[in-house]
Structure 1
Amino acid sequence: MSENDLPANWIRASLSDLGTWAGGGTPSKSEPSFWHGSIPWVSPKDMKTEFISDTEDHITPTAIEQSATRLIPAESVLVVTRSGILERTLPVATTKKPVTINQDLKALTPREGVRARYVALGLKAFEQRILKDCTKSGTTVANVEFASFLRFELPLAPTEEQDRIIAEVEKQFTRLDASVEALKRVQAQLKRYRASVLKAACEGRLVPTEAELARREKRDYEPADKLLARILKERRARWEADQLAKMKAAGKLPKDDKWKAKYVEPVAPETSGLPSLQSGWTWSTIDQLSSVVTKGSSPNWQGFDYCASGVLFVRSQNVGWGSLQLDERVFLPHAFNEKESRSVLADGDVLLNIVGASIGRVALATTELAGANINQAVALIRPVVPSLGAYVLRYLLSPLAQQYIHREKVDVARANFSLADVSEMPVPLPPLSEQQRIIFEAESRLSVGDAIELTLMSNETRATRLRQAVLKTAFEGSLVPQDPRDEPSSKLLESISAAVENKSLTKQGRVKQTTAVPKMKATR
Structure 2
Amino acid sequence: VDLEYRMAHVEKMRAAALRQLDAAKAMSAALLNEMFSQETFDGYPMVRLEDWTCDIASGQAVSSVGGNYQKQGIRYIQGNNLTNKGFAPVPIVYTEVKTHAAMSRSVVKPKDVLINIVGPPIGKISWYPEDQPEANINQAVVRVHCPEDLDYRFLTYLLRTKKYYDYFVEVKVGARQWNISRTNCADIKIPRVPIYLQHDLVKKFEEKIDGISFVAAAERQLEAIEALPGAILREVFDFDEENTGS
CA-based RMSD = 2.3
Match of 1:278? 42
Post-superposition shift, 1:397?
Answer: 0.8
For 2:218 and 2:176, the matched residues in 1 are separated by 35
Q: How does 1:400-419 map to 2 (within 5 A)?
A: 400-419=163-182
CA distance in 1, matches of 2:237, 2:108: 53
Alpha-carbon offset, residue 313 of structure 1: 0.9
Map residues 196-235 of structure 1 onto 2, 5 A cutoff: 196-203=30-37
- In the alignment, the residues of structure 1 paired with residue 160 and residue 137 of structure 2 have an alpha-carbon distance, to the nearest angstrom, of 20
Instruction: Tell me how far apart the structure 2 counterparts of residues 377 and 386 of structure 1 sit (CA, whole Å).
Output: 27
Deviation at residue 392 of structure 1 after TM alignment: 0.8
Write the letter of the residue equivalent to 2:59: G
Matched to 2:209, the amino acid is L
Aligned to 2:207: 444
- Structure richer in helix, relative to its length: 2
CA shift at 1:412, angstroms?
Answer: 4.0
- Residues 142-184 of structure 1, C-alpha deviation per residue, up to 9 Å, x if partnerless? xxxxxxxxxxxxxxxxxxxxxxxxx222211222111111111
In structure 1, the partner of 2:63 is: 300
Q: Which has the larger radius of gyration?
A: 1
Alpha-carbon shift at residue 372 of structure 1 (Å): 1.0
CA distance in structure 1 between the partners assigned to 2:125 and 2:13 by the alignment: 31
Amino acid at match of 2:219: M
Opposite residue 231 of structure 2, the aligned amino acid is A
Among 385, 389, 393, the residue aligned to 2:152: 389
Deviations 1:125-157 (A, max 9, x none): xxxxxxxxxxxxxxxxxxxxxxxxxxxxxxxxx
What is residue 173 of structure 1 aligned with on the other side? 7
* Secondary structure in structure 2 of the residue aligned to 1:297: coil
Residues of 2 paired with 1:455 and 1:418: CA distance?
35
What is the CA distance between 1:385 and its match in structure 2? 2.6
| Deviation for aligned residue 1:415 | 0.5
Farther-moved stretch of structure 1 (308-317 vs 366-375): 366-375
Identical residues among aligned pairs (%): 19
Q: Which amino acid in structure 2 is aligned with residue 462 of structure 1?
A: A
Residues 75 and 135 in structure 2, CA contact (< 8 A), matched pair in contact too: yes
SS of aligned partner of 1:410: coil
Cross-structure match for 2:187 = 424
User: TM-score scaled by structure 1?
Assistant: 0.44
Pairing 1:336–2:99 present: yes
The TM-score normalised by the length of structure 2 is 0.89
Instruction: Please say if residues 58 and 141 of structure 2, whose CA atoms lie closer than 8 Å, have aligned partners that are also in contact.
Output: yes
Q: 1:184 aligns with which of 18, 22, 34?
A: 18
* SS of aligned partner of 1:379: strand
Measure, in 2, the Cα distance between the counterparts of 1:429 and 1:419: 20
Read off the aligned partner of 1:423 and give its amino acid letter.
A
1:315 to 69, 74, 78: 78
Q: Please give the alpha-carbon distance, in whole angstroms, between the structure 2 residues aligned to 1:326 and 1:466.
A: 27
Report SS of the residue matched to 2:22. Answer: helix
Q: Which has the higher contact order (CA 8 A, sep 6+)?
A: 2
Q: How far off is 1:435 after superposition?
A: 1.4
Residue in 2 aligned with 1:433?
A: 196
Cα deviation, residue 185, structure 1: 1.0
Q: Return the alpha-carbon distance in structure 2 between the equivalents of residues 284 and 357 of structure 1.
A: 27
Q: CA 1:468/1:378 → structure 2, altered by over 3 Å: closer, same or farther?
A: same
